[in-house]
Structure 1
Amino acid sequence: MISFDPAARRSGSAQAGADFIWLPRRRRSVGAARGLLRTFLGGVPGGDGLLAAGELVLSELATNAIEHASVPPGRLIAVRFEMVSAQLRLEVHDASRAWPTVRPLAGGYEESGRGLLLVESMAAGWGCCLRPGGVGKFVWAVVGPVEGES
């Protein structure tokens, strides 16, 4: 079981109402990240409506950071959740500078490679940025109603 120490949350640059948590770079951290997201959204009005899409998108981003980031052993990943208006912003940070790429489906029988296609279809937007003042990058996605749509 993975646990986290609330004192290990990043302070200072994290905005009020946002959670930033470091996790081991292991497969079971994906489930831990989903649990942390459920806790975060449980304290947000209307959070239940963002949970299903948020968990799916977070799972895909975290899995990519764990499975595809070429980094030395012992590096951590971080997840960040923030409400921006009625939208949920998710971030997954890792120590790799390699950008994620959406792979086209070849024959439809592959067992992997669909993660970012799911993110594209479930998120209002997503992208990747270098970590300011740090090592690596973060991949972000926004889940929720698209601005201007009801």
Structure 2
Amino acid sequence: MSETLIQPAQDPQTAEGWLPCTGRAPLLARRVLRELLARVDGGGRFLEDGELLVSELVTNALEHGMQAAGQRIGYTFRVEGDVLHLVVEDESEQKPIPRQVDGSQESGRGLLLVEVLAAEWGFEPRKGGGKRVWVKVRCVS
């Protein structure tokens, strides 16, 4: 059985499903994103930034969003023209806030990276609890 629970998307330019709350979740999310971008015409132009961003979003969900065993991380990735939309959902209602870190810290830079690479990003409450963090990546041709 696959570690990702992929729901069939009605649109070939969309991938959605669930990831297990394990250390492999960022790797699995990148794999799903690569598969999506491979089947979308011109999708490769989003690959580098998309992989970095999805890794950060899923890692943040793992570190800050999971409250109990058995929870999963939801995702929706979609390409619309020159925009890649990445959405990651978790169980926490804690707001994602970029924080300043000094050079001695090994972590804490994820949302700063998101701010630099994303054209837009934000978050919103998820129906039933938790939150949805979204990112828009624009292709610069």
The normalised TM-score by structure 2 is 0.90
Aligned pairs (5 A) from 1:118-129: 118-129=113-124
CA contact (8 A) 2:65 2:92 kept: yes
Q: What per-residue deviation string (whole Å, max 9, x for no partner) do you get for residues 7-50 of structure 1?
A: xx1x7xx7633221111111111100000000000011111110
2:67 to 62, 66, 71: 71
The 5-angstrom pairing of residues 1-150 of structure 1 reads 3-6=3-6, 9=7, 16=11, 17-105=13-101, 107-131=102-126, 133-145=127-139
Structure 2, gaps ≥5 residues long: none
Deviations 1:83-106, CA, capped at 9 Å, x for gaps: 12211000111011111110012x
Is there any run of 5+ residues in structure 1 with no aligned partner, and where?
none
The number of equivalent residue pairs is: 140
8 Å CA contact 2:73, 2:88 repeated in 1: yes
Task: Give the letter aligned to residue 111 of structure 2.
Answer: L
CA offset digits 1:96-147 (Å, max 9, x no partner) = 1111110012x2121000000001101111000111x33211101011237x
> Which protein is richer in strand relative to its size?
2
- Paired-residue identity, %: 44
Q: Shift in Å at residue 73 of structure 1?
A: 1.6
- What is the one-letter code of the residue matched to 1:36? V
Label 1:89 to 1:110 Cα distance change in 2 as closer, same or farther (>3 A).
same
Counterparts of 1:93 and 1:5 in 2: how far apart (Å)?
14
Q: Report if the CA contact (8 A) 1:2-1:28 is conserved.
A: no
Cα distance in 1, alignment partners of residues 22 and 2 from structure 2: 10
1:70 & 1:23 partners in 2: Cα distance? 12
